[in-house]
Amino acid sequence: MKIDSQGMHYKVLNQKINEAVIQGITDIELFNVNGQRYIGDGLRKEVRINVHGVPGNDLGSFMNGPVITVNNNAQDAVGNTMNGGKIIIKGMAGDVCGYGMRGGKLFILKDAGYRVGIHMKGYKTLNPIIVIGGNAGDFLAEYMAGGVIILLRMFGRNDHNNIIGDYLGTGMHGGTVYIRDGIDKKKLGKGVGVSEPSAEDNMLIEDIIKEYAADMGLDAGKILNEKFEKLTALSTRPYSKLYTY
Amino acid sequence: MLYKNPYNNYFDYVVQRDMDKCIRCKDCVTQCSYDANFYDEERDLIYSLDSNCVGCMRCSTFCPTDCIRIVRNPDTFRINANWKDNNVKDLYKQAGTGGIIITGMGNDKPYKNYWEHMVIDACQVTNPSIDPLREPMELRTFLGRKPDRLEVNKDGDITTKLAPQLVLETPIMFSAMSYGSINYNVCESVARAAKELGIYWNTGEGGLPDTLYEYGKHTIVQCASGRFGVSPEYLNAGAAIEIKIGQGAKPGIGGHLPGEKVLEGISRTRMIPVGTDAISPAPHHDIYSIEDLRQLIYALKEATRYEKPVSVKIAAVHNVAAIASGIARAGADIIAVDGFRGGTGAAPKSIRDNVGIPTEVAIASVDQRLREEGIRHQVSLVAAGGFRNSSDIVKAIALGADAVYIATSALMAVGCTLCQQCHRGRCAWGITTNDPELSKRVNPEIGAERLVNLIRAWSNEIKEMLGLMGINSIESLKGNRDRLRGVGLSEIELQTLDIKQAGM
Ligand code: SF4
Ligand code: SF4
Ligand code: SF4
């Protein structure tokens, strides 16, 4: 199904998408998207939504199941508290993407903004994954409690000094961040440790990158050529010493 | 340096035991979860380590011969009006540990309590009172956005499309207490009671255990900055969604569930590792303005297809009226204002006792401001923070609240004795603990029954009070400040509450 979103209020557009999903349509193509918010918000069906144009904030928030492909850039809060499904951004994405993410995958081709993957969760088989092809802003993985973030630093603006923001992983108490091509230790938040990925880690990275490369039309081998470093929390209770009673 | 902390010698309570009456049943030993009572087999004596006692009265309640007295420790620091015992004690504790002092429950400092300075009007001679035992008395309350005007067709049916509403059989709800801060049995007690009473309970920020989804129609699900347990199923399970911005006991800081309390069930519901501190950051990281708040409100509305009211809960702070106005304009259907006497499972003591304002004045100024701006009908107002009885509630509604939230008093109905140790996860009354053995001390059936009793009693008292004012519906009390008078308040206090001096 094709929907021309030109000049459409987000409420109307999302209503149309929702109606289509209820009717059982599984492929939806949106044209002329221009900042409409909440596309795919709360959708709980396995549908494919292909977005042409730039979707607005909160793309795919709270969703559980859909696969959303954006052929351009996206804005802030992509995949906010998302539960399952997949979002593929073939451009850049804004701030607070994947906030409180609980499951599913968020693949970004180029740079992502500030505070990405904050408070990501994970429990046993529920393991959200974010891959950022370019750079990331400050506070990446802050308060991270579970899941996986992979930062490739390959396809963004090529400013090598600024390749990742400050306070990386501040308050992290679970989950893993893998960074390709080494990181500047100065950028690390308190309480985060760097180590070599294990064989198991490398297998996980390989699986994820193969899927990412296929979605983005990239050469996985080239991405995997470089070494990755692994970031984990040094303590599961980073703030426990702060308190008394 | 060998240094014994004077704090170790000073403690709040002494366990006195009449050994003539003691039958050595050892109940006090098993009931105490703070290791304060011991049995010495050799000498066949029961001892107490007073410094461990928190004054929760679990042992004295259960002692079959009533031979235990928990008394204030007569041993005090030298009397000093400036350096009170707790100032001295806290200072020593911090010198010893370097830590921020954490505590539980609400602000216990002797700030002025405005409920105690307001009295309620009654009918005499000129306007008859109503007897609630014989005449219908309406307590039903609707929370949610009301339309600007109502359109009615020829047959008298309302044609205006109404925004979703919460329907309460009495204007009282159970305030947010998260699964994790209280255990499953207490959650179930509260949920059952809400269902039976036709009101709502609030999940707090810890998510909703799978087995409590059946209470969804009577549940307000919370979405806080930590986003614990916020799945699309969760959002759709509730009758309303509440965005937690702040809490009266700790305005401006985030939630904190100490790692001691994060066991398997909590880990699963919150999706964080066992034993970690569950930290909700101070701000929602996607909210830095009223516009951002609007974005989250509508993200939640879109996610639930505009079928549920969205509430925004804030702590009562100095400029609460302006903030509430912004929240109303951001599209919230309900605003919950939590005053500084509200309880908490864990908060820094310095913050709990010194930050925020009383809910009485907050409600008065928010209601006033929204009326002045002509948007009062767009949003319902729920007052929270330290309601102790039905008259506090009547006064809050007369000041402008649509309904109230209670939590501390609800826990007291289930057994809490206000010992303020909730953060330690060892609650002897089985409430704010996830220890499987201690949790068994609350039976959800009995807990629910006691909660239902409390709310029924309060509701009947509210009806009595409406009757004596000659009012037969709670709706007519709302914002009816003429039925209140101030006693012992200054002119500026009367002005802030917008009530008259008694006698006028
Ligand atoms: S049960 Fe409570 S009151 Fe009794 S000794 Fe233990 S801490 Fe003190
Ligand atoms: S509960 Fe009472 S009677 Fe039993 S051992 Fe303790 S003090 Fe003695
Ligand atoms: S809930 Fe338990 S620990 Fe907290 S104040 Fe009440 S009795 Fe004490």
User: For residues B302 and A77, what is the distance between their CA atoms, to the nearest angstrom?
Assistant: 15
pLDDT of residue B254: 84
Can you name the residues that pair with B168 across neighbouring β-strands?
B141
Residue A240 pLDDT exceeds 90: no
Average pLDDT of chain A, as a whole number: 92
Number of the ligand closest to the Cα of B50: 1
Would you place residue A158 in the very low, low, confident or very high pLDDT band (cuts 50, 70, 90)? low
Phi, psi angles (nearest 5°) of residue B104? -125, 175
Q: Which atom of ligand 2 is nearest to the CA of B24?
A: 5
Measuring CA to CA, how many Å separate B211 from each of B174, B185, B217? 19, 11, 14
| Closest residue, chain A, to B270 (C-alpha) | A121
User: In this complex, do B299 and A241 lie within 8 Å of one another by their Cβ atoms?
Assistant: no
Would you place residue B273 in the very low, low, confident or very high pLDDT band (cuts 50, 70, 90)? confident
The DSSP element (H or E) to which B234 belongs, if any, is helix B232-237
Best residue among B59, B69, B73 to mutate for probing ligand 1's pocket (most ligand atoms within 8 Å of CB) is B59
pLDDT of residue B462: 98
Please give the DSSP secondary-structure letter assigned to residue B178: -
Query: In terms of Cα–Cα distance, which of A143, A135, A216, A241 is closest to A183?
Result: A135
User: In this complex, do A83 and B232 lie within 8 Å of one another by their Cβ atoms?
Assistant: yes
Number of the ligand closest to the Cα of B14: 1
Between the CA of B7 and the centroid of ligand 1 the distance, in Å, is 19
Residue B180 pLDDT exceeds 80: yes
Between the CA of B243 and the centroid of ligand 3 the distance, in Å, is 26
pLDDT of residue A243: 81
User: In this complex, do B226 and A96 lie within 8 Å of one another by their Cβ atoms?
Assistant: no
**Longest alpha-carbon distance in chain A:** 61
Please give the DSSP secondary-structure letter assigned to residue B333: S
| Cβ(B105) – ligand 3 distance below 6 Å | yes
**How many CB atoms sit inside 10 A of residue B155's CB?**
6
B122-149 mean pLDDT: 93
Residue A142 pLDDT exceeds 60: yes
- Coil vs helix vs strand at B52: helix
pLDDT of residue B190: 98
Write the pLDDT tens digit of every residue in A178-200: 999 877 777 788 788 999 999 99
User: In this complex, do B231 and A18 lie within 8 Å of one another by their Cβ atoms?
Assistant: no
Residue B340 pLDDT exceeds 90: yes
Q: Atom 4 in ligand 2: which residue has the minimum CA distance?
A: B25
List CB contacts (< 8 A) between A120 and chain B: none
Q: Which atom of ligand 2 is nearest to the CA of B37?
A: 6
Between the CA of B438 and the centroid of ligand 1 the distance, in Å, is 14
HSE at residue B196, side-chain half, CA atoms within 13 A, is: 17
Q: Which B positions 208-267 lie with beta carbon below 8 A of chain A?
A: 223, 225-228, 230-233, 235-236, 258-259, 267
Q: How far is A211 from chain B (nearest CA, A)?
A: 25
Using the structure block, give the residue that is written with the tokens 């549920």. B308
HEC string for chain A: CEEECCCCCHHHHHHHHHHHHHHCCCEEEEEEEECCCCCCCCCCCCCEEEEEEECCCCCCCCCEEEEEEECCCCCCCCCCCCCEEEEEECCCCCCCCCCCCCCCEEEECCCCCCCCCCCCCCECCECCEEEECCCECCCCCCCCEEEEEEECCCCCCCCHHHCECCCECCCCCEEEEEEECCCCHHHECCCEEEECCCHHHHHHHHHHHHHHHHHHCCCHHHHHCCCEEEEEECCCCCCHHHEEC
Structural domains of chain B, ranges and CATH numbers in brackets: 6-99 (3.30.70.20), 130-501 (3.20.20.70)
Interface probe for B, chosen from A11, A36, A41 (most Cβ of B below 10 Å), is A41
Delimit the domains of chain A by residue range. 1-62, 73-240
Would you place residue A155 in the very low, low, confident or very high pLDDT band (cuts 50, 70, 90)? confident
Between the CA of B31 and the centroid of ligand 2 the distance, in Å, is 10
Write the pLDDT tens digit of every residue in B12-41: 999 999 999 999 999 999 999 999 999 999
Can you name the residues that pair with A130 across neighbouring β-strands?
A106, A149
User: In this complex, do B232 and A57 lie within 8 Å of one another by their Cβ atoms?
Assistant: no
List CB contacts (< 8 A) between A146 and chain B: 271-273
B456-466 mean pLDDT: 97
List CB contacts (< 8 A) between A241 and chain B: 99
B267-295 mean pLDDT: 87
- Total residues found in chain A within this entry: 245
Write the pLDDT tens digit of every residue in A17-55: 999 999 999 999 999 999 999 999 999 999 999 999 999
Write the pLDDT tens digit of every residue in B101-130: 999 999 999 999 999 999 999 999 888 899
Phi, psi angles (nearest 5°) of residue A126? -80, 110
Interface probe for A, chosen from B7, B222, B276 (most Cβ of A below 10 Å), is B276
List CB contacts (< 8 A) between A80 and chain B: 286, 299
Would you place residue A156 in the very low, low, confident or very high pLDDT band (cuts 50, 70, 90)? confident
Q: Atom 1 in ligand 2: which residue has the minimum CA distance?
A: B63
Would you place residue B258 in the very low, low, confident or very high pLDDT band (cuts 50, 70, 90)? confident
Q: How far is B388 from chain A (nearest CA, A)?
A: 27
Q: Which B positions 258-277 lie with beta carbon below 8 A of chain A?
A: 258-259, 267-268, 270-273, 275-277
pLDDT of residue B63: 97
Q: Which CATH class is domain A73-240?
A: mainly beta
pLDDT of residue B193: 98
pLDDT of residue B284: 82
Q: Which atom of ligand 2 is nearest to the CA of B68?
A: 7
Q: How far is A145 from chain B (nearest CA, A)?
A: 5
User: For residues B477 and B487, what is the distance between their CA atoms, to the nearest angstrom?
Assistant: 20
Residue B395 pLDDT exceeds 90: yes
List CB contacts (< 8 A) between B236 and chain A: 42
Contact pairs from chain A to chain B, CB under 8 Å: 143
Would you place residue B6 in the very low, low, confident or very high pLDDT band (cuts 50, 70, 90)? low
Phi, psi angles (nearest 5°) of residue B500? -90, 160
Interface probe for A, chosen from B264, B286, B308, B424 (most Cβ of A below 10 Å), is B286
Q: Which atom of ligand 3 is nearest to the CA of B418?
A: 5
User: For residues B198 and B221, what is the distance between their CA atoms, to the nearest angstrom?
Assistant: 16
User: For residues B137 and B146, what is the distance between their CA atoms, to the nearest angstrom?
Assistant: 22
User: For residues A116 and A133, what is the distance between their CA atoms, to the nearest angstrom?
Assistant: 13
Whole-model pTM: value is 0.94
Which region holds residue B299: left if phi is over 0, alpha if psi is between -120 and 50, else beta?
Answer: alpha
Query: In terms of Cα–Cα distance, which of A99, A42, A12, A22 is closest to A30?
Result: A12
pLDDT of residue B3: 61
Residue B231 pLDDT exceeds 60: yes
Residue A160 pLDDT exceeds 70: no
Write the pLDDT tens digit of every residue in A53-86: 999 999 999 999 999 999 999 999 999 999 999 9
The DSSP element (H or E) to which B450 belongs, if any, is helix B444-468
Please give the DSSP secondary-structure letter assigned to residue B486: E
User: In this complex, do A240 and B271 lie within 8 Å of one another by their Cβ atoms?
Assistant: no
pLDDT of residue B307: 97
Interface probe for A, chosen from B231, B304, B305 (most Cβ of A below 10 Å), is B231
Query: In terms of Cα–Cα distance, which of B413, B403, B420 is closest to B479?
Result: B403
A206-224 mean pLDDT: 96
pLDDT of residue B184: 97
Work out the percent of chain B whose per-residue pLDDT is above 70: 98
Residue B260 pLDDT exceeds 90: no
List CB contacts (< 8 A) between B295 and chain A: 37, 57-58, 77
Please give the ipTM for the structure prediction: 0.92
| Closest residue, chain B, to A122 (C-alpha) | B271
Least confident of A40-44, B258-262, B375-379: B258-262
Least confident of B60-64, B258-262, B396-400: B258-262
Would you place residue A242 in the very low, low, confident or very high pLDDT band (cuts 50, 70, 90)? confident
Residue A5 pLDDT exceeds 60: yes
Q: How far is A123 from chain B (nearest CA, A)?
A: 5
pLDDT of residue B7: 65
Between the CA of B420 and the centroid of ligand 1 the distance, in Å, is 13
pLDDT of residue B8: 67
Q: Atom 8 in ligand 1: which residue has the minimum CA distance?
A: B53
User: In this complex, do A58 and B295 lie within 8 Å of one another by their Cβ atoms?
Assistant: yes
